[in-house]
Amino acid sequence: MSEKKAIIRDLTTGSVPKTLLNFAAPLFLSGLLQMVYNMVDMIVVGQMVGTGGLSAVSVGGELLMLITFVAMGFSNAGQILISRYVGEDRHDLIGQMVATLFTLLMSLAVIIMVVFLFTYQNIMAWLNTPDSIWEYTRQYCITCICGTVFIYGYNLVSAILRGMGDSKHPFMFIAIASILNLLLDLLFVGPLQMGPQGAALATVIGQAVSFIFALTLLYRHRDQIHFDFKPSHFRIYRNVIRPLLSLGIPMVIQSAAITFSMLFVNSFINRYGEIHIAVTGIARKLENMISIVAQAISAAGGAMISQALGAGKTKRVPKVVFHALWIVAIPSAIFALITLIKPEWLFGIFSPDPEVLEMVLELYIPVAMIQYLGCTLRPPSFALINGSGNSRLNLAVALLDGVACRIGLSILLGVTFNWGITGFWYGNAISGCVPFLVGFTYLLSGRWKLQSSRKED
């Protein structure tokens, strides 16, 4: 097999479900390992340090979301545009996009890291971090912030590879990071007794190693990405920065709106104390267990739709959307059934605390069902919206999902209707279904065809 085939893959031919599953499988495995990667911190700290340490990791994870949303937004935009350029056979634009992504995101990583080193304690106070876990949370946060460059670096390199149609190598790199993270977690939190800070340090080291391996792969295949890595070529190219900003800024706003709205809701939840924080944190990790399938299908579908529109194969787009829906529905149904039958087993993996398990059984299970529904409906919608490069619709989803619904419903149910903690949980869960309403309206309208670069085949 030639090197070109190892990096660039045509996603516009062959059976839609087969291509979708083949491309999504490594993404799913990468997501699974990423989930394990993140869950290991909570499991190890929860079992070895206790509920206080577990709550600190949960709050620290919320602050980490603030750091990563910029990387996720621009990386996803870059991936979509690279897929479009691959479909159009515009190799010159591929190289310029790679250079621009590196220059932009690594610069932002340094700026964001410095800003957060000076402001993270103010953010902790805004999140209503309890005094009992303040020091644990502070240690976890400052360690994660120092790894910002590696977080951004891995995201942009993985986006470049996925944009080329290569989902296998990102899986290999996250596998290396996950194994290393697990071993270091057990060492730092266990024998070395470093607590949550040890878990954060293990994560940062794993991310750094993963980024270095991924960067090495790109350099070895620099002829296939049409970028030579010469220092003078790391700059912003006019030909690609405008479409990158046009698509990336709404994606960043979308991520920011969802992130800030979740943190806003969590700032209310955190007032209820350690038990409520622990339940919310564990629930988010469990939701991520089904989200890994959803995100894999969404990313794969988005890349396929982008390449199809770039090649003028518009008839392929609705097929991708509907196949994405039924593929995600299967694991969602399985997870819903397990949660109904054995919720104490799932939550017990993270914490043996009887108060945590009691709250789950009494209050959280119906909320989880709505969250799983949202996980099923979102992927095909985002695949279409992101794959078509519709920046305005991305912004509309951001404002509806992140601001109007998540914050509005949470305050309405939690404060106005006085439902308390369950009101905030329900508001957050229901808002997750909003992208489906927007996405399928867009599909039925047919306006996504206007994004095609060529005439319909």
Q: What is the pLDDT of residues 163-180, one digit of tens each?
A: 877 777 777 887 888 788
Q: At what angle do helices 365-387 and 274-311 cross, to 10 degrees?
A: 30
Q: What is the DSSP string of 372-418?
A: HHHHHHHHHHHHHHHHTT-HHHHHHHIIIIIIIIIIHHHHIIIIIS-
pLDDT, one tens digit per residue, over 261-270 is 777 776 777 7
pLDDT of 141 > 80? The answer is yes
C-alpha dihedral sign at 289, 293, 296, 302: negative
Is the per-residue pLDDT at 247 higher than 70?
yes
Domain assignment present for 456: no
Range with lowest mean pLDDT among 107-116, 278-287, 339-348: 278-287
Give percent of the chain with pLDDT exceeding 90.
2
For the cut 50, the answer to whether the pLDDT of residue 4 exceeds it is: no
pLDDT at 420: 80
Q: State how far the Cα of 305 lies from the Cα of 314, in Å rounded to an integer.
A: 8
Report the alpha-carbon distance of residue 234 to residue 101 in Å, rounded: 9
> Does 6 reside within a domain?
no
Average pLDDT over every residue of 13-37: 72
What confidence score (pLDDT) does residue 255 get?
72
Report if residue 3 sits inside a domain: no
Task: Evaluate whether residue 304 is within a structural domain.
Answer: yes
Which pLDDT does position 1 carry in this prediction? Answer: 35
Per-residue pLDDT tens over the stretch 66-103: 777 788 888 888 888 888 887 777 878 888 888 898 99
* Domain that includes residue 197, residue range: 11-451
Q: Beta strands of 369-444 (E only): which ranges?
A: none
- Does 1 fall in a domain? no
pTM: 0.69
Is residue 300's pLDDT more than 50? yes
Round the average pLDDT of the chain to a whole number and report it.
79
> Who contacts 432 (Cβ-Cβ below 8 Å, separation ≥6)?
370, 371, 373, 374, 375, 378, 401
Span 116-131, average pLDDT? 80
Check pLDDT > 60 for residue 112: yes
- For the chain, how big is the Rg over CA atoms in Å? 21
Token pair recorded at residue 142: 């400052």
d(CA 132, CA 149): 30
Which amino acid would we find at residue 344?
E
In a domain, 457, yes or no: no
Q: Is 163 domain-assigned?
A: yes
Query: For residue 110, what pLDDT band results from cuts at 50, 70 and 90?
Result: very high
Residue 85 lies in a domain: yes
* Nearest CA among 169, 153, 145 for reference residue 74: 153
d(CA 323, CA 18): 10
How many domains does the chain contain in total?
1
